[in-house]
Amino acid sequence: MKKLKLIYNPFSGNKSFKFDLDICIGIFQEGGYEVHPFRTLYPGDIDQHIATMDPNYDVVVASGGDGTVNIVINALMRRGLHIPVGIIPSGTANDFATYLGFKTGDVEDVCRTIVSTEPVPIDLGLVNDDIFFINVVAGGYFTNVSQTVDKDLKNALGNLSYYLKGVEQLPQFRKIPYRITTSKEVIEEDLYFYMILNSAGTGGFNYLSPGALVTDGEFEFVAVKGRPLYEMTPTVMKLMMGDHLDDKNILYLKDNYFKVECLDDTFKIKETTVDGEMGPDMPFEMRVIPAAIPVFGKFDQIQEKADNPLLTLWKNAGMPTKL
């Protein structure tokens, strides 16, 4: 019989995954898997567990938010285990699972997808040659919000808590000079914040890079330029609709290598976030590891999702598409 390791974080999101355990185990057993659950209890125990677990598992399933998935991916990659990974979205932010076609709370759909489809090798990012990430590295204003939101508020309000916390930073806004180095060019630009994306979105904004593919060997760099705030309303609307990449206030790049340097020593937010968790301080380098690990998802639907329904609704209402 095939073996499946189920790693779950009981503290993620609204803490309801424990009520879905029986559903998961039942579907996996019906699919021919012997299920071995592991419940995380304290920081670092997932790393410890994967470092010593039997390497002959056929599937590893992670239930939690983006942070839990990041921990599992890093532990597997550090050990050189390219075991297919399934992701059950049960956290507050489930950006990568959303990209894969899974809805938070629909545990049955995820589990049935895992037992009935083949995994696809996807790209991963590697920061400073020691931290892997599956979805996003970000820096600048707003990007440390997930680290400062009260846990109870996050569980109560979900992604809305991030937006409310981000508004607190608006009075501090000033343009920050950065140097962005890719494999092709060096750009110096004043920015408010930037994101290096594997998938199409993060932080509940699911169309930041509408054409992103996790199998193309490249990541997208999306940044908001340091322009007067009164110019930003049309840009923010475009960001919500996924129609912003040609906006004059957006810096968009695509490459397999990025180096990011902050050129202002007085800027206090020097740290980055990696899949929503605290990352290294700037400067840092990242490169793409193509086809690094197999992951289950609804890959036949990903290109279809690149068309934002909000943008379609906007266009169908006869509203202008060039703001």
Instruction: List pLDDT tens digits, range 40-61.
Output: 999 999 999 999 999 999 999 9
Top-confidence residue, 213 or 164: 213
**Amino acid letter, residue 11:** F
What's the residue count for the chain? 323
Rounded mean pLDDT, 224-247: 75
Span 208-229, average pLDDT: 88
Once rounded to an integer, what is the mean pLDDT over residues 111-132? 97
Q: Which two tokens stand for residue 29?
A: 């057993």
Q: Which residue has the higher pLDDT, 76 or 311?
A: 76
Question: Scanning the structure block, which residue is given the tokens 């809805």?
Answer: 103
Q: Where in the chain is the domain with CATH 2.60.200.40?
A: 133-290
Per-residue confidence at 262, pLDDT binned at 50, 70, 90? very high
Query: pLDDT category, 147, cuts 50, 70, 90?
Result: very low
d(CA 310, CA 173): 28
Residue 156 has pLDDT above 80, yes or no: no
Task: Name the region of 306 (left: φ>0; alpha: ψ -120 to 50; beta: rest).
Answer: alpha
Portions of the chain given CATH number 3.40.50.10330 = 2-116
How far, rounded to the nearest angstrom, does the alpha carbon of residue 237 sit from its chain's CA centroid?
Answer: 21
The answer to whether the CB of 260 falls within 8 A of the CB of 139 is yes
Q: Do 47 and 116 touch, CB atoms closer than 8 A?
A: no
Inter-CA distances, 232 with 171, 207, 226, 308, Å: 15, 18, 10, 21
Q: Of 119-128, 207-216, 237-246, where does the model show the most confidence?
A: 119-128
CATH class (in words) of the domain with range 2-116: alpha beta
Residues 79 and 50 sit within 8 Å (Cβ to Cβ): yes
Closest by alpha carbon to 11, among 109, 97, 92? 92
Residue with tokens 């609307």, as numbered in its chain: 237
Q: Is the peptide bond before 283 cis (omega within 30 degrees of 0)?
A: yes
> Which residue has better confidence, 231 or 296?
296
**Region 156-185: what's the mean pLDDT?**
65
Specify the higher pLDDT residue, 46 or 168. 46
Q: Give the mean pLDDT of the chain.
A: 83
- Domain 133-290 in this protein, CATH class: mainly beta
Q: Which of 163, 161, 167 is nearest to 149 (CA)?
A: 161
What pLDDT does residue 242 have? 66
Q: One-letter amino acid identity for 56?
A: N
Q: What is the pLDDT of residue 226?
A: 85
**φ, ψ at 305 (rounded to 5°):** -70, -10
Q: Is 220 helix (H, G, I), strand (E, B) or coil?
A: strand
Provide the pLDDT confidence category of residue 266 given band limits of 50, 70 and 90. Answer: confident
Residue 80 CB-density burial (10 A; 0-12 exposed, 13-18 middle, 19+ buried): exposed
Is 92 or 85 the better-scoring residue by pLDDT? Answer: 85
Q: What are phi and psi of 50, to 5 degrees?
A: -70, -30
pLDDT at residue 208 tops 80: no
Q: Which residue has the higher pLDDT, 252 or 172?
A: 252
- In this predicted structure, what is the pLDDT of residue 220? 94
Other C-beta atoms closer than 10 Å to the C-beta of 97 total: 27
Best-predicted range by mean pLDDT (116-125, 271-280, 294-303): 116-125
Q: In terms of Cα–Cα distance, which of 217, 210, 216, 219 is closest to 246?
A: 210
Q: Structure tokens of 12?
A: 């993620």
Angstrom distance (rounded) from CA 72 to CA 132: 10
pLDDT of 302 reads: 73
